[in-house]
Structure 1
């Protein structure tokens, strides 16, 4: 059977601050992130199947990413919970802001690793996560490939 890769793109707004960083990104700031999710599988060949010819329904992939990434990170602020930023996080939460505390420095590189794990856990067994691309700015992005992480 032929393997096919399909890609769906997503976008969300997220703020973060990089504790201990030696540049401007140590300050609280936000990005308009663009996430491209590429999965791989064999198109359904069962002629009686409602999703005949699909690797995965784009709507099903959208549901996974929306629930586990878009709805969580959109218009939220991400901080490394192992830094003094946790004090700022508590203050923001008390004022009604959405805050995410993570175990890592919230760089694009670390966020893409987190996203890969979240998506892999939800994909059907017949579908592989092939790659992710997380664009932080118009000119800067990180990429993750399953083949690089085997």
Structure 2
């Protein structure tokens, strides 16, 4: 009986650790899905799966510039690191990486929870001088000066 109790406690502990680990990368997993799915041929059709209604606006489907703006991911060709912070309603993801000329840049994304999904609500792209300027923690777009 004692061995069963110890086994149960260990199983619960391992499950809770796994849950904490998985939940710590929720926003990055959402960003990765956007990276893998969205492209110039489908971005208008899939945009509502990745972006909030307030970010998209009413006429994004007829806006000729919308596709290029929604494909901001194309600026970054190599990812160096990422950080996120979140609560039940919203969160922020910071992604450090490099563009096609190997120049460093940072994506700062605000996500909101909407109908059980995490959607990008604000986007801030920051071009920096070098890698030492990369963020070392999650930073929301609103934390940058205008």
Larger RCO (CA within 8 A; separation ≥ 6): 1
Larger radius of gyration: 2
Q: Structure 2 length normalisation: TM-score? A: 0.29
Give the number of the structure whose residues are more often strand, by fraction.
1
